[in-house]
Amino acid sequence: MADAAPAKFKPRVFSGIQPSGGLTLGNYLGAIKRFVDMQDQGIETIYCMVDMHAITVWQDPAALRHQTRELAAGYLAAGLDPAKSILFNQSQVSAHAELGWVFNCVARMGWMNRMTQWKDKTAGKNTEQASLGLFAYPSLMAADILVYHATHVPVGEDQKQHVELTRDIAAKFNHDYGVEFFPITEPVIEGAATRVMSLRDGTKKMSKSDPSDNARINLTDDADKISSKIRKAKSDAELLPETMDELSERPEARNLVNIYAALSGMSKEAVLGEFSGQGFGAFKPRLADLAVATLAPISTEMQRLMQDPAEIDRILGDGADRAAAIATPILERTLDIVGMVRSRR
C-alpha cells in the first residue's frame, strides 16, 4: 500500500466513522477490523470519530456523547491499540473545521451537487430545509483527510466518491496556489466483505435503521443472539457451488459466504472449496460458531469499557493531543500559502 504514496509524503492512513449509534457486523468487517489490521503494517494510522459530521442532522446531545464513547469502545474492544494508532473524536481538534472552511472556498458548488449521498439523503424532500452542513460536509471530509497529509483512506465502495472529491480539492488547491502541498490521497478498498448485506435481504446493505433487528448483527449482541440471527438468516435451498460466479444470482448465499470469508480470514474461493456441495443446514452452524467466537468477546469488552466513560474520554483526549500535533503545522502552512496574516506568539 505504501508504494502508491507520492514520494514526498510520509505514508499515513486516516479514516473516520460517524458516531451515529448501533454498531453492526457491517461496521466491524467493513471498517473497524481493517483498521485494526492496518495498525500493524508499519504505517502511521489515525482513526477518528467524526462527531462534527454527525450534527449535519440534529442530534440529541446526550445521545451523541454516548454514541461517541460507544464507537470508541467498539474500536478498542476490537483490538485497536491507542499506543499504536491515534484515536480521537474530530471536534477536539479544531484544525479540521479551520481547514474545512478553506476547502469550502476551493470546492465548487457543482461538485457538491453531484455527490451521490446528498442526492440520496434529499431525494423527494425539500432540499431547502436541509442544513448547509449536510450539503457541504464532503468538503469537511476532505479537510479531515488532508489536514494530516493522509496518503491512504480505507473506504467502502459507497464512500469512494468522497475520496475522489478529496483528490479534486487537493489538486485544485495545489494548482491554484502553485504548490505541491497536499497529497493526492489513494482510496484503499480491500477485503472479502467490505460491503456486508442484510441477513434478511441480500440485495440491501446491513443497516442499524432496518426495522428488523434480525437483519443485522449488533456489536452489542450476546453470543445467543449472534448465533440465533445467523441460523435464521435468509438463504436458499440450493447447495453451495464451487465458484463465486455461480453465486451471482444468489445474493443471500453470496453474502453469507462473504461474511464467513471475512471473519475467518479465508478467501471466498477457499470457503467454497471447503463447503461446496453442502447446504446451508451444514454451513450456517459453522458460520454461527465462527461469528460467536469472533464477536462475543468484542461485545463483552465493549460493555466493560462503557462502564468507565472517564477512561474512554482520557484515551480520546490523549489521541486528540497527538492528532493536533500533526494537524496544526499543516494547517498553519496552509494559511501561509493562502495569504493569511497571523501574529505569532
- Tell me, letter by letter, the H, E, C secondary structure of 19-68: CCCCCEHHHHHHHHHHHHHHCCCCCEEEEEECHHHHCCCCCCHHHHHHHH
User: Is 208 annotated in the active site?
Assistant: yes
SS3 264: helix
Could you tell me if 258 and 196 are in contact, meaning their C-beta atoms sit under 8 angstroms apart? yes
Could you tell me if 191 and 343 are in contact, meaning their C-beta atoms sit under 8 angstroms apart? no
Q: Which of 84, 172, 205, 234 is catalytic?
A: 205
User: Would you say how long the chain is, in residues?
Assistant: 345
Could you tell me if 86 and 327 are in contact, meaning their C-beta atoms sit under 8 angstroms apart? no
**Which among 197, 155, 206, 144 has a CA at the least distance from the CA of 34?**
155
**Which among 275, 278, 295, 154 has a CA at the least distance from the CA of 216?**
295
- Tell me, letter by letter, the H, E, C secondary structure of 91-104: HHCCHHHHHHHHHH
Torsion angle in degrees (nearest 10) through CA of 190, 188, 6, 98: -160
Instruction: Mark out the alpha helices in the chain (DSSP H runs).
Output: 25-27, 33-38, 51-54, 61-77, 95-104, 109-113, 116-122, 132-146, 160-177, 223-232, 251-264, 268-275, 280-306, 309-338
User: Is 268 annotated in the active site?
Assistant: no
Looking up cell 456523547 gives 65
User: Is 284 annotated in the active site?
Assistant: no
Q: Which of 121, 160, 172, 234 is catalytic?
A: 121
Q: 191: Cβ–Cβ under 8 A, 6 or more apart, which residues? A: 29, 30, 33, 34, 262
Instruction: Cite the active site residues.
Output: 121, 205, 208
